[in-house]
Structure formats: C-alpha cells, structure tokens
Structure 1
Amino acid sequence: MIRVKTLTIQLIDAQPNRIRICRVEGESLVTVVVPRDDLSEAKFLPNIPSRGIYYLLDEDHGNVSRVYAGQTTQGIARLEAHKTRKEFWNKAVMFLDDDQNISKDALDVLEAKAIDYVRTHGSYETDNLVTPKPYMDPYKEESVERLHDKILFRMAALGYDLNRVDQGPVSSAAIFHTKKNGVCGTGRYSKDTGHFTVLAGSNVDMSRPIQKNAAVTTLRNELFGGLSGIVELAEDLEFPTPSAAAVFVLGGSQNGWTEWVNDAGCTLDQVYRSEEN
C-alpha cells in the first residue's frame, strides 16, 4: 500500500531561496525556513505560532556542516539574539505550534531530544555541548517522540538530513592549511575520531581575541602567556574539532570545515563531506 504525505510550501515573494513556510496536511505544526539575511522580514510574517524548536544551520545546498538546536516561546523573534551572538549560521529552520498543542514541559523534552540527536547523529559539528535532562510525564512521552519524528521527516524533506554521514576517501595523513590574514597554519584531520591536529611550526595569531571559546582561550594563554602578534607553535596539538583548531590558530570565530584547505584548494568540508566524493 502506498502511503502519501502532502507537504505544501509557500515561498515568500516567490523566491525559492528565501523565506519558506511549510505545512503537512492534517498537522498543526508550522515549519519556517529563515535565511539569516531575511530575518528582519521574517519577524513580521503574520499568523506564525510562537512555541517550538529550531535548528541553526551552516549549510550549503543542503550540505550541513554545523548545527545548533534550541527552543523558543517567542517564535521567529528568538533568532534575533542568535544573529548577534552566533556567527556561524546562515539558515534557521523553525518548527512552531500554538501553546495549547505543545505544553512547556513537552517543549523542554522536545528540545532535549533535538539536542541529543544532533550530538549523536550525522557528520557535522554542533554548538550544543550538553544534552538537557528535563522531567517528562511518561503519559506524554510517546506524543513528544512522534512530534520529534515528524520534525526529522520535514527536515529531510526540505533537504537537511540530520542523519547523513558522508564518507571521504582521502587518507588521514593529508595536509590542510590556512593562510588567512597572513597567518600560516597546517594540520591533519582524522576521519576516525573527527579530531584535527595543528602541526608544529604553525603560526598562531595572538593579536586577535577568541570569541566564546574559553577552553581554547585558556590553552593559548598557557602556551604563549602575554605574547602578542603572530607566534609559532612548538609542538603538534590535537583539537576535538576542525573549528576549535582554526580558532586556536586564527582567533575570532571560525568554521574549520571551510577554513582548512588542501593543496588543491579544496576545503575540509569538500573533501570529507561532499556527496560527490
């Protein structure tokens, strides 16, 4: 027997790459896709519910390299704070409903499920470092699980598959480098662990402060003390993610998947995550 779901998509200003409003027949949940550059316009969309969860994505043609999951009771307006505080994302996907359809305790558990999923699935980085553990009424747990499944279905239908794991054929010994702002750093990526090792002899730009990464800030201070300007790393250092390695070398806020490139000019993302590999 063929099972059919009808997904309708409204394109604001008839622009397929801008704001999209998506609904599934028979479901009250409203999905809104908001490009970062269109946030000011999206905040004034009429008749959009205010309670639900959202994903902030760093994505390129459906290829997701970084994800953050959160909850909102403010609807689209919640994204305004993230536009100020989080630089990495270029698209938000929100799943919103009325308060009577998602209670506050159900919302807390739904957010926890979303965070746990992005921390344990897919080959992308996440800014969610800890999974919340809220109390859940056992009589409501099944309905929240069904809602989470519906959200994952819509994400995949829109081209953002949070479960996709890309396999790259390149040896872990391949060298990647960055030369941003005249800072020359080199390193290796391990596909098995997801870690990135910055190699001895790499430059480290101590003149540029780090944004919101206390662990990397502490490490730089321990290694280089009060030094300023561009300094040289004396020994190899391993980092849990390519972005942490890029932040260590360059300062500021960096996306390591696009910052580290090989000798052919291909980014780490293109080498290890591209569906064309």
Structure 2
Amino acid sequence: MKKSRAKTIQIFLPNGNPRGVKFAEVTNRTVQAILIPRSLLNTVKDRIEVKNVALYFLFGNNDEDTRTEAYIGEAEVGYDRLKQHNAGKDFWETAVLVVTNNNQNQFTKADVKFLEHLAYHEAVSAGRYTINQTVPTNPFIPEWRKEDLADIFETISLLLGTLGYPIFESYRDTQEEVLPNEEDKELFYCNRRDTKAFGKWTGDGFVVYKGSMMSSGPLPGFESKLEKHNEKIRKLLAEGILGEQNGRYVFLSDHPFNTPSAASSFVLQGASNGWTDWKDKHNRTLDELKRKDL
C-alpha cells in the first residue's frame, strides 16, 4: 500500500460557523470542495465559486438506513443543479460541490463527466455509502487528461474525507481479501459458542468483516434487547449487508460498529464485553493488545 504523505488542508468558514458552509482545499492544488448544508443553500447563491462547472455529492440519512446515502452528479452550473435537487430530492442533508479555484483553468463538461463516472465506481467499490442511481456514462477523454484527472481525484477523495465523508475509503486495505488472513496481526476473532466472526479495531470503530457468521440464535438473558437487535438485523438484511445462509446470518460486506462490545454483542446475539471476546490468533484479547500496552 502506498504510504500517505503529510498534507496541509485549509478550511475557510465564510460565516464563521463551524457547522455551516466550508471551503476546503489542499495548499498548492487547484481543486476546491465546498460543503453546503441544505438549510444554508441560499447563503451561497451570490458566490462566484458555486456558479462554475462542478462535480457534486449529496449526502443524507434516514431512520431506515444504517449507512449514509449518497448521490453523485455533475453540472455546468453547480448552484443551479443544487437548487433543482433541493426541489426534487428529499433524502439529502448536505451537498459538497467540487470546483477549481483557478479562473484560467476551469473544469470542462467532459472533465466532470469523467470524474462522475470514476467517483461512482470508486464509491460502489468502497461500500461505505448506499449509492442509488444509474451508472454515469464514461466520456471520451484524451489519455494525458485522464492522468491529470486521476491526480485531481486523489485530492477530491482527501478533501471529502477531511469534511467527514470518506466515500471512497474502504474499511480495509483491499476489497479482495474476503477470508481472514492468518498473517494479519491486526485481525481479531469472536468464536464463542458457534459464532465465527472476524474483524479489526479501526478509526471507524470495530469493523466486522465480510464472511463473518453470527451465532445460530440469541443467548439467554438477551430478551430485553432482542427487539432492538432484531430491528437492526432487519435493516442490515434490507441493505444487503447481511444475508442468510443455511439458516444463519452472514455478513455480505464489511460493517462498522461504534465499539468492540457493540460488534461482539451483535454477532453473538447476547451480552458481551468486546474487549475480552475479540481475540487474536494467539488467544490474546483486544484489551491486552490495544489498551493495556498504551
């Protein structure tokens, strides 16, 4: 994996509100990401930046989803397209417009169509967000320009992650690794009872990996939490994160939980202390390896 290099990112708050509109850019780069809460859309209507050709993202949650929903698009005039979506799409709460901050080197329509196509496929591959839209077309772009746009895309990914929307970042280093790798020192297992689950403690919480199998049924003493637990199972099934195989629930994609105990309680379907129920291949607990050595 390519080593990340240090970056300096500037965030400008035009209204001085940390929960309001934000302009983010990497120093010495020409691409700029503008985060706009839906309720503040009218406050940016007179800014020249939002009137340029743009790639844009819409983000939102509802009570039925466990994952954030996202929509990716392109527009000749970014603000005008957001106004249309404000009238026509209900789900979103926040928009991010991506434009260039160089008046002499603006995006072309073909540029943003290419970035839209690339962004869609990278977001679907990462699997963090629910993407419900048709596949964007892939326009003809000269090879030299594709290289420039691929470099720009890396900056876009960095800016989105900094603004709180890591839509292109996988929960693991590679999507091809489905089964647990015995050489992976960071992998932890929960094998109590007939549970066969594995995952990692990360910056996103404890991520249960694709291929993990939950216990065959709830443990005694879990009755008071069973209704809420079953509701979460229903949501994960509806989103395709869980599936059923031979009468058992199996993770069909990686999924994060806020804490190790939330993850272990879910897969065990019973009360659990995740710091002691998650163990590495040498039977050392997560507590021993991640808390006691601090």
TM-score over 0.5 for the pair: yes
Structure 2 unaligned regions, length at least 5: 172-203, 218-228, 245-254, 263-294
By how many angstroms is 1:47 displaced?
A: 4.7
- The answer to which of 72-81 and 187-196 deviates more is 187-196
Residues 1:25 and 2:27 are matched in the alignment: yes
Matched residue, 1:156 = 161
Distance in 2 between residues matched to 1:188 and 1:108, nearest whole Å: 33
Percent sequence identity is: 20
Distance 1:40 1:140, change over 3 A: same
CA distance in 2, matches of 1:149, 1:161: 12
1:5 deviation in Å? 2.5
Evaluate the alpha carbon distance shift between residue 47 and residue 194 of structure 1 in structure 2; reply closer, same or farther with a 3 A threshold: closer
**Would the aligned equivalents of 2:20 and 2:36 in 1 still touch at CA under 8 Å?**
yes
Contact 1:49 1:96 in 2 (8 A): no
Mapped partners of 1:32, 1:94: distance in 2:
5
Question: In the alignment, which residue of structure 2 is the partner of 1:141?
Answer: 146
In structure 2, how many angstroms separate the alpha carbons of the residues matched to 1:157 and 1:29? 14
User: How many angstroms apart in 1 are the aligned matches of 2:4 and 2:94?
Assistant: 33
Distance 1:78 1:2 in 2: 34
Aligned to 1:218: none
Task: Give, as a single letter, the amino acid of the residue that structure 1 aligns with 2:12.
Answer: Q
Deviations 1:116-161 (A, max 9, x none): 1122213321122324222221221111111111100111122211
1:77 to 62, 66, 80: 80
Question: Does the alignment pair 1:55 with 2:102?
Answer: no
Q: Which has the larger radius of gyration?
A: 2
Aligned partners of 1:2 and 1:145: how far apart in 2?
Answer: 16
Flag the 1:59–1:26 CA change in 2: closer, same or farther, 3 A.
Answer: farther
SS of 1:139 mapped into structure 2: helix
Question: Which of 87, 96, 116 is equivalent to 1:111?
Answer: 116
Calculate the TM-score normalised by the size of structure 1: 0.59
SS of the residue aligned with 1:53? strand
Is 2:88 the counterpart of 1:89?
no
Shift of 1:171: 4.0
Name structure 1 gaps, 5 residues minimum: 178-185, 198-271
**CA-atom RMSD in angstroms:** 3.4
TM-score, scaled to structure 2: 0.56
- Residue of structure 2 equivalent to 1:275: 258
Q: Does structure 1 residue 123 correspond to structure 2 residue 170?
A: no
Which residue number in structure 2 is paired with residue 176 of structure 1? 231
Counterpart amino acid of 1:115? Y
